[in-house]
Amino acid sequence: MVTTHVKRAYKYRFYPTGAQAAELSRTFGCVRKVYNMALAARTEAWALRQERVNYNATSALLTVWKRTEELAYLNEVSSVPLQQTLRHLQTAFTNFFDKRARFPRFKSRRKSRKSAEYTSSAFRFRDGRLMLAKMAEPLDIVWSRPLPEGAKPSTVTVSQDGAGRWFVSVLVEDPGVQSLPADGNVVGIDAGLDRLLTLSTGEKITNPRHERKDRVRLARAQRNLARKAKRDGANRAKARRKVAKIHARIADRRRDHLHQLTTRLVRENQTLVIEDLTVRNMVKNRKLSRAISDAAWSEFRSMLEYKAQWYGREVIAVDRWFPSSKLCSACGKLQEKMPLHVRTWTCDCGATHDRDVNAAINIKAAGLAVSVCGAGVRPQRESSRTGRSATKQKPSQREP
Protein backbone atom coordinates (compact mmCIF):
# COMPACT_ATOMS: atom_id res chain seq x y z
CA MET A 1 0.00 0.00 0.00
CA VAL A 2 1.52 3.30 -1.12
CA THR A 3 0.94 6.49 0.83
CA THR A 4 0.11 9.44 -1.40
CA HIS A 5 0.45 12.86 0.15
CA VAL A 6 -2.35 15.00 -1.18
CA LYS A 7 -3.55 18.48 -0.36
CA ARG A 8 -6.98 18.30 1.19
CA ALA A 9 -9.33 21.04 2.37
CA TYR A 10 -11.27 20.67 5.62
CA LYS A 11 -14.25 22.98 5.89
CA TYR A 12 -15.79 24.12 9.19
CA ARG A 13 -18.46 26.49 10.44
CA PHE A 14 -17.37 29.33 12.67
CA TYR A 15 -19.12 32.13 14.52
CA PRO A 16 -17.33 35.49 14.37
CA THR A 17 -17.64 38.25 16.91
CA GLY A 18 -19.07 41.57 15.76
CA ALA A 19 -15.58 43.01 15.28
CA GLN A 20 -14.41 39.94 13.34
CA ALA A 21 -17.49 39.99 11.09
CA ALA A 22 -16.92 43.67 10.34
CA GLU A 23 -13.23 43.09 9.57
CA LEU A 24 -13.98 40.14 7.29
CA SER A 25 -16.75 42.05 5.51
CA ARG A 26 -14.31 44.89 4.83
CA THR A 27 -11.79 42.36 3.55
CA PHE A 28 -14.36 40.80 1.21
CA GLY A 29 -15.18 44.23 -0.18
CA CYS A 30 -11.52 45.12 -0.71
CA VAL A 31 -10.84 41.78 -2.38
CA ARG A 32 -13.72 42.37 -4.78
CA LYS A 33 -12.58 45.96 -5.47
CA VAL A 34 -8.99 44.93 -6.25
CA TYR A 35 -10.12 42.06 -8.47
CA ASN A 36 -12.43 44.30 -10.49
CA MET A 37 -9.84 47.08 -10.88
CA ALA A 38 -7.16 44.60 -11.98
CA LEU A 39 -9.56 42.98 -14.45
CA ALA A 40 -10.46 46.41 -15.88
CA ALA A 41 -6.78 47.35 -16.15
CA ARG A 42 -5.84 44.13 -17.95
CA THR A 43 -8.80 44.34 -20.32
CA GLU A 44 -8.20 48.01 -21.16
CA ALA A 45 -4.46 47.55 -21.68
CA TRP A 46 -4.99 44.82 -24.23
CA ALA A 47 -7.98 46.42 -26.00
CA LEU A 48 -6.39 49.86 -26.39
CA ARG A 49 -2.64 49.26 -26.52
CA GLN A 50 -2.23 45.52 -27.15
CA GLU A 51 -0.26 45.49 -23.90
CA ARG A 52 0.10 42.36 -21.80
CA VAL A 53 -0.55 42.79 -18.10
CA ASN A 54 0.32 39.80 -15.90
CA TYR A 55 0.24 39.13 -12.17
CA ASN A 56 3.48 41.02 -11.48
CA ALA A 57 2.15 44.10 -13.23
CA THR A 58 -1.15 44.05 -11.35
CA SER A 59 0.74 43.55 -8.07
CA ALA A 60 2.71 46.72 -8.84
CA LEU A 61 -0.57 48.50 -9.63
CA LEU A 62 -1.95 47.43 -6.25
CA THR A 63 0.97 49.18 -4.55
CA VAL A 64 0.20 52.36 -6.50
CA TRP A 65 -3.52 52.16 -5.67
CA LYS A 66 -2.81 51.88 -1.96
CA ARG A 67 -0.88 55.16 -2.04
CA THR A 68 -3.78 57.15 -3.46
CA GLU A 69 -6.13 59.02 -1.17
CA GLU A 70 -9.20 57.49 -2.80
CA LEU A 71 -8.07 53.88 -2.20
CA ALA A 72 -6.17 54.36 1.06
CA TYR A 73 -8.72 52.12 2.81
CA LEU A 74 -7.08 49.12 1.13
CA ASN A 75 -4.30 49.46 3.72
CA GLU A 76 -6.79 48.76 6.53
CA VAL A 77 -7.11 45.06 5.69
CA SER A 78 -4.50 42.32 5.35
CA SER A 79 -2.53 42.60 2.11
CA VAL A 80 -2.37 38.81 1.62
CA PRO A 81 -6.00 38.30 0.48
CA LEU A 82 -5.54 41.19 -1.97
CA GLN A 83 -2.44 39.55 -3.47
CA GLN A 84 -4.23 36.20 -3.59
CA THR A 85 -7.16 37.62 -5.55
CA LEU A 86 -4.68 38.88 -8.17
CA ARG A 87 -3.29 35.35 -8.43
CA HIS A 88 -6.83 34.05 -8.86
CA LEU A 89 -7.37 36.55 -11.67
CA GLN A 90 -4.19 35.32 -13.36
CA THR A 91 -5.52 31.75 -13.13
CA ALA A 92 -8.85 32.88 -14.58
CA PHE A 93 -7.09 34.37 -17.62
CA THR A 94 -4.98 31.22 -18.04
CA ASN A 95 -8.12 29.07 -18.02
CA PHE A 96 -9.77 31.39 -20.54
CA PHE A 97 -6.94 31.23 -23.05
CA ASP A 98 -6.71 27.46 -22.59
CA LYS A 99 -10.44 27.32 -23.48
CA ARG A 100 -11.41 25.92 -20.09
CA ALA A 101 -13.53 28.91 -19.05
CA ARG A 102 -15.19 32.07 -20.25
CA PHE A 103 -13.53 35.48 -20.13
CA PRO A 104 -13.22 36.62 -16.49
CA ARG A 105 -16.21 38.59 -15.27
CA PHE A 106 -16.44 41.40 -12.77
CA LYS A 107 -17.43 40.44 -9.23
CA SER A 108 -20.84 41.63 -8.09
CA ARG A 109 -21.49 42.80 -4.54
CA ARG A 110 -24.81 40.95 -4.50
CA LYS A 111 -24.11 37.79 -6.46
CA SER A 112 -20.41 36.95 -6.19
CA ARG A 113 -19.08 34.60 -3.55
CA LYS A 114 -17.74 36.40 -0.49
CA SER A 115 -14.35 34.93 0.32
CA ALA A 116 -10.79 35.82 1.25
CA GLU A 117 -7.74 33.56 1.11
CA TYR A 118 -4.91 33.81 3.64
CA THR A 119 -1.51 32.18 3.19
CA SER A 120 0.73 31.06 6.06
CA SER A 121 2.21 34.53 6.53
CA ALA A 122 -1.23 35.96 7.38
CA PHE A 123 -2.50 33.51 10.01
CA ARG A 124 -1.30 31.61 13.04
CA PHE A 125 -2.53 28.11 13.86
CA ARG A 126 -1.58 26.59 17.18
CA ASP A 127 -3.28 24.10 19.52
CA GLY A 128 -6.50 24.17 17.52
CA ARG A 129 -6.74 27.96 17.60
CA LEU A 130 -6.72 29.94 14.36
CA MET A 131 -5.80 33.62 14.41
CA LEU A 132 -6.05 35.70 11.23
CA ALA A 133 -4.09 38.84 10.46
CA LYS A 134 -5.61 42.13 11.66
CA MET A 135 -7.65 40.31 14.34
CA ALA A 136 -7.19 40.47 18.08
CA GLU A 137 -8.66 37.06 18.97
CA PRO A 138 -8.95 33.61 17.35
CA LEU A 139 -11.96 32.43 15.39
CA ASP A 140 -14.65 30.47 17.21
CA ILE A 141 -14.54 27.38 15.00
CA VAL A 142 -16.76 24.32 15.39
CA TRP A 143 -14.27 21.48 14.83
CA SER A 144 -16.80 18.96 13.53
CA ARG A 145 -13.99 16.57 12.57
CA PRO A 146 -10.31 16.54 13.49
CA LEU A 147 -7.56 17.67 11.19
CA PRO A 148 -4.87 15.06 10.36
CA GLU A 149 -2.45 14.63 13.23
CA GLY A 150 0.38 17.14 13.02
CA ALA A 151 -1.28 18.97 10.12
CA LYS A 152 0.17 22.35 9.19
CA PRO A 153 -2.26 24.49 7.16
CA SER A 154 -0.79 26.06 4.04
CA THR A 155 -3.76 28.29 3.22
CA VAL A 156 -6.95 29.30 5.00
CA THR A 157 -10.02 30.53 3.11
CA VAL A 158 -12.78 32.37 4.94
CA SER A 159 -16.16 32.70 3.26
CA GLN A 160 -19.77 33.64 3.87
CA ASP A 161 -22.64 32.10 1.92
CA GLY A 162 -25.93 33.66 0.87
CA ALA A 163 -27.64 32.31 3.99
CA GLY A 164 -25.26 34.31 6.17
CA ARG A 165 -23.29 31.30 7.41
CA TRP A 166 -19.54 31.69 7.96
CA PHE A 167 -17.08 28.99 6.90
CA VAL A 168 -13.34 28.48 7.14
CA SER A 169 -11.59 26.05 4.79
CA VAL A 170 -8.19 24.79 5.95
CA LEU A 171 -5.87 23.31 3.31
CA VAL A 172 -3.46 20.72 4.71
CA GLU A 173 -1.38 17.82 3.50
CA ASP A 174 -3.20 14.62 4.43
CA PRO A 175 -0.91 11.60 4.87
CA GLY A 176 -3.94 9.46 5.68
CA VAL A 177 -4.99 9.26 2.02
CA GLN A 178 -3.58 5.97 0.78
CA SER A 179 -3.85 4.06 -2.48
CA LEU A 180 -6.20 1.13 -1.95
CA PRO A 181 -5.15 -2.44 -2.84
CA ALA A 182 -6.02 -3.35 -6.44
CA ASP A 183 -9.02 -5.69 -6.52
CA GLY A 184 -9.78 -5.90 -10.25
CA ASN A 185 -13.45 -4.95 -9.84
CA VAL A 186 -14.93 -3.05 -12.77
CA VAL A 187 -18.33 -1.37 -12.70
CA GLY A 188 -20.35 0.44 -15.36
CA ILE A 189 -22.45 3.37 -14.16
CA ASP A 190 -25.53 4.67 -15.94
CA ALA A 191 -26.87 8.01 -14.66
CA GLY A 192 -30.59 8.64 -14.70
CA LEU A 193 -33.46 10.60 -13.20
CA ASP A 194 -35.93 8.00 -11.92
CA ARG A 195 -32.92 6.28 -10.40
CA LEU A 196 -29.87 8.39 -9.75
CA LEU A 197 -27.47 5.61 -10.77
CA THR A 198 -27.79 2.10 -12.13
CA LEU A 199 -24.75 -0.17 -11.86
CA SER A 200 -23.75 -2.99 -14.17
CA THR A 201 -24.10 -5.31 -11.16
CA GLY A 202 -27.84 -4.67 -11.28
CA GLU A 203 -27.89 -2.38 -8.24
CA LYS A 204 -30.19 0.62 -8.58
CA ILE A 205 -29.58 3.70 -6.45
CA THR A 206 -32.64 5.80 -5.73
CA ASN A 207 -32.67 9.46 -6.66
CA PRO A 208 -33.32 11.39 -3.40
CA ARG A 209 -34.71 14.39 -5.32
CA HIS A 210 -33.65 16.84 -2.62
CA GLU A 211 -34.97 19.88 -4.47
CA ARG A 212 -38.42 18.36 -4.93
CA LYS A 213 -38.78 17.73 -1.19
CA ASP A 214 -38.34 21.44 -0.44
CA ARG A 215 -40.03 22.77 -3.55
CA VAL A 216 -43.16 24.04 -1.76
CA ARG A 217 -41.15 25.82 0.95
CA LEU A 218 -38.85 27.30 -1.69
CA ALA A 219 -41.73 28.57 -3.83
CA ARG A 220 -43.39 30.17 -0.80
CA ALA A 221 -40.16 31.91 0.19
CA GLN A 222 -39.53 33.10 -3.37
CA ARG A 223 -43.04 34.55 -3.62
CA ASN A 224 -42.48 36.36 -0.34
CA LEU A 225 -39.21 37.77 -1.69
CA ALA A 226 -40.88 38.92 -4.92
CA ARG A 227 -43.37 40.99 -2.90
CA LYS A 228 -40.60 43.07 -1.30
CA ALA A 229 -40.54 46.13 -3.55
CA LYS A 230 -37.77 48.11 -1.83
CA ARG A 231 -34.59 46.72 -3.35
CA ASP A 232 -32.21 47.69 -0.55
CA GLY A 233 -34.71 47.36 2.28
CA ALA A 234 -34.17 45.30 5.42
CA ASN A 235 -37.30 43.21 4.77
CA ARG A 236 -36.07 42.25 1.31
CA ALA A 237 -32.67 41.28 2.72
CA LYS A 238 -34.39 39.12 5.35
CA ALA A 239 -36.56 37.44 2.70
CA ARG A 240 -33.50 36.87 0.51
CA ARG A 241 -31.72 35.10 3.36
CA LYS A 242 -34.72 32.81 3.85
CA VAL A 243 -34.55 31.75 0.20
CA ALA A 244 -30.78 31.27 0.47
CA LYS A 245 -31.19 29.09 3.58
CA ILE A 246 -33.54 26.74 1.73
CA HIS A 247 -31.14 26.52 -1.23
CA ALA A 248 -28.28 25.86 1.21
CA ARG A 249 -30.26 23.08 2.90
CA ILE A 250 -30.90 21.43 -0.48
CA ALA A 251 -27.28 21.74 -1.60
CA ASP A 252 -25.91 20.43 1.72
CA ARG A 253 -28.05 17.29 1.65
CA ARG A 254 -27.27 16.67 -2.01
CA ARG A 255 -23.52 17.08 -1.46
CA ASP A 256 -23.55 14.81 1.59
CA HIS A 257 -25.35 12.07 -0.32
CA LEU A 258 -22.96 12.31 -3.28
CA HIS A 259 -19.93 12.17 -0.99
CA GLN A 260 -21.15 8.98 0.66
CA LEU A 261 -22.05 7.42 -2.69
CA THR A 262 -18.81 8.27 -4.54
CA THR A 263 -16.64 7.15 -1.60
CA ARG A 264 -18.34 3.76 -1.54
CA LEU A 265 -18.03 3.27 -5.30
CA VAL A 266 -14.33 4.18 -5.31
CA ARG A 267 -13.56 1.91 -2.37
CA GLU A 268 -15.39 -1.07 -3.88
CA ASN A 269 -14.15 -0.87 -7.48
CA GLN A 270 -10.79 -0.61 -9.20
CA THR A 271 -12.19 0.76 -12.47
CA LEU A 272 -15.32 2.89 -12.84
CA VAL A 273 -16.80 3.49 -16.28
CA ILE A 274 -19.19 6.40 -16.85
CA GLU A 275 -20.72 8.26 -19.77
CA ASP A 276 -19.34 11.62 -20.88
CA LEU A 277 -22.66 13.44 -20.46
CA THR A 278 -23.01 17.01 -21.73
CA VAL A 279 -25.05 18.31 -18.82
CA ARG A 280 -24.61 21.86 -20.11
CA ASN A 281 -26.68 21.01 -23.17
CA MET A 282 -29.09 18.64 -21.45
CA VAL A 283 -30.39 21.29 -19.05
CA LYS A 284 -31.65 23.24 -22.07
CA ASN A 285 -34.57 20.77 -22.13
CA ARG A 286 -37.21 22.83 -20.31
CA LYS A 287 -39.16 19.76 -19.20
CA LEU A 288 -36.19 18.01 -17.61
CA SER A 289 -33.81 20.84 -16.68
CA ARG A 290 -34.97 21.07 -13.07
CA ALA A 291 -34.66 17.32 -12.50
CA ILE A 292 -31.26 17.16 -14.23
CA SER A 293 -29.91 20.01 -12.12
CA ASP A 294 -31.18 18.34 -8.96
CA ALA A 295 -29.44 15.07 -9.92
CA ALA A 296 -26.09 16.95 -10.03
CA TRP A 297 -24.38 14.58 -12.49
CA SER A 298 -21.46 16.98 -13.01
CA GLU A 299 -20.79 17.19 -9.28
CA PHE A 300 -20.98 13.40 -9.05
CA ARG A 301 -18.41 13.01 -11.82
CA SER A 302 -16.08 15.58 -10.28
CA MET A 303 -16.16 13.84 -6.91
CA LEU A 304 -15.65 10.43 -8.49
CA GLU A 305 -12.61 11.61 -10.44
CA TYR A 306 -10.68 13.30 -7.65
CA LYS A 307 -11.40 10.49 -5.17
CA ALA A 308 -10.28 7.90 -7.73
CA GLN A 309 -7.02 9.85 -8.10
CA TRP A 310 -6.61 9.91 -4.33
CA TYR A 311 -7.07 6.18 -3.87
CA GLY A 312 -5.33 4.83 -6.97
CA ARG A 313 -8.48 3.99 -8.92
CA GLU A 314 -9.32 4.64 -12.57
CA VAL A 315 -12.28 6.46 -14.08
CA ILE A 316 -13.03 5.85 -17.75
CA ALA A 317 -15.50 8.03 -19.65
CA VAL A 318 -16.99 6.53 -22.81
CA ASP A 319 -18.10 8.67 -25.71
CA ARG A 320 -21.36 10.51 -25.19
CA TRP A 321 -22.71 9.16 -28.50
CA PHE A 322 -22.21 5.52 -27.53
CA PRO A 323 -25.70 3.89 -27.89
CA SER A 324 -25.67 2.19 -24.50
CA SER A 325 -29.46 2.00 -24.16
CA LYS A 326 -30.22 0.74 -27.67
CA LEU A 327 -27.52 -1.93 -27.81
CA CYS A 328 -28.36 -5.50 -26.72
CA SER A 329 -25.77 -6.55 -24.15
CA ALA A 330 -26.40 -10.22 -25.02
CA CYS A 331 -26.03 -10.33 -28.82
CA GLY A 332 -24.83 -6.83 -29.68
CA LYS A 333 -27.73 -5.93 -31.99
CA LEU A 334 -28.51 -2.21 -32.20
CA GLN A 335 -32.16 -1.19 -31.98
CA GLU A 336 -33.34 1.55 -34.30
CA LYS A 337 -35.35 3.47 -31.69
CA MET A 338 -35.55 3.51 -27.92
CA PRO A 339 -37.95 6.21 -26.60
CA LEU A 340 -37.48 7.36 -23.02
CA HIS A 341 -40.76 5.83 -21.85
CA VAL A 342 -39.55 2.31 -22.75
CA ARG A 343 -38.05 0.92 -19.54
CA THR A 344 -37.89 -2.78 -20.49
CA TRP A 345 -37.51 -4.33 -23.93
CA THR A 346 -36.90 -7.68 -25.59
CA CYS A 347 -34.29 -8.19 -28.29
CA ASP A 348 -34.76 -10.43 -31.33
CA CYS A 349 -32.35 -12.88 -29.70
CA GLY A 350 -34.88 -13.41 -26.92
CA ALA A 351 -33.05 -11.50 -24.19
CA THR A 352 -35.24 -9.22 -22.08
CA HIS A 353 -33.49 -6.14 -20.71
CA ASP A 354 -34.07 -3.54 -18.07
CA ARG A 355 -33.17 -0.39 -19.97
CA ASP A 356 -30.87 1.08 -17.31
CA VAL A 357 -29.13 -2.16 -16.31
CA ASN A 358 -28.52 -2.98 -19.97
CA ALA A 359 -27.03 0.48 -20.51
CA ALA A 360 -24.72 0.07 -17.49
CA ILE A 361 -23.52 -3.31 -18.76
CA ASN A 362 -22.78 -1.85 -22.20
CA ILE A 363 -20.96 1.12 -20.65
CA LYS A 364 -18.78 -1.28 -18.67
CA ALA A 365 -17.98 -3.33 -21.80
CA ALA A 366 -17.13 -0.19 -23.80
CA GLY A 367 -14.84 1.08 -21.06
CA LEU A 368 -13.00 -2.24 -20.86
CA ALA A 369 -12.64 -2.37 -24.64
CA VAL A 370 -10.96 1.03 -24.97
CA SER A 371 -8.80 0.36 -21.92
CA VAL A 372 -7.51 -2.96 -23.29
CA CYS A 373 -6.96 -1.56 -26.78
CA GLY A 374 -4.93 1.33 -25.37
CA ALA A 375 -7.08 3.94 -27.07
CA GLY A 376 -8.00 7.24 -25.52
CA VAL A 377 -10.01 6.18 -22.53
CA ARG A 378 -11.76 9.49 -22.28
CA PRO A 379 -13.20 11.83 -24.89
CA GLN A 380 -12.06 15.44 -25.06
CA ARG A 381 -13.82 17.32 -22.27
CA GLU A 382 -15.21 20.64 -23.29
CA SER A 383 -15.25 23.66 -21.11
CA SER A 384 -18.35 23.83 -18.95
CA ARG A 385 -18.60 27.52 -19.82
CA THR A 386 -17.39 28.00 -23.35
CA GLY A 387 -18.76 24.80 -24.88
CA ARG A 388 -15.59 24.41 -26.98
CA SER A 389 -12.84 21.86 -26.63
CA ALA A 390 -9.36 22.95 -25.62
CA THR A 391 -7.98 22.06 -29.05
CA LYS A 392 -10.23 24.48 -30.91
CA GLN A 393 -9.12 28.07 -30.71
CA LYS A 394 -10.10 31.16 -32.59
CA PRO A 395 -7.11 32.63 -34.43
CA SER A 396 -8.01 36.07 -33.10
CA GLN A 397 -7.85 35.01 -29.45
CA ARG A 398 -4.32 35.28 -28.14
CA GLU A 399 -3.23 35.80 -24.57
CA PRO A 400 -2.60 39.41 -23.64
pLDDT confidence of residue 369: 83
pLDDT confidence of residue 4: 52
For residue 371, is pLDDT > 80? no
Which residues are CB-neighbours of 125 under 8 A, at least 6 positions away? 131, 152, 153, 156, 170
For residue 197, is pLDDT > 50? yes
Local confidence band at 19 (pLDDT 50, 70, 90 cut-offs):
very high
Question: Pick from 291, 313, 301, 289: which is nearest to 261 by CA?
Answer: 301
What's the CA gap between 370 and 365, in Å, rounded? Answer: 9
Q: Is 354 among the catalytic positions?
A: no
Q: Is 44 among the catalytic positions?
A: no
pLDDT confidence of residue 376: 42
Q: What is the pTM of this model?
A: 0.82
Question: Domain ranges in the chain?
Answer: 6-174, 186-373
Greater confidence (337 vs 115) lies with: 115
Of 23, 174, 211, 275, the catalytic one is: 275
Q: Is 161 among the catalytic positions?
A: no
Of 117, 190, 294, 382, the catalytic one is: 190
331-363 pLDDT, tens digit each: 888 888 888 888 888 888 888 888 889 999 999
Q: How far is CA 273 from CA 137, 314, 361, 365, 381, in A?
A: 49, 8, 10, 9, 15
52-78 pLDDT, tens digit each: 789 999 999 999 999 999 999 999 999
For residue 2, is pLDDT > 70? no
129-171 pLDDT, tens digit each: 999 999 999 999 999 999 988 889 999 999 999 999 999 999 9
234-270 pLDDT, tens digit each: 999 999 999 999 999 999 999 999 999 999 999 999 9
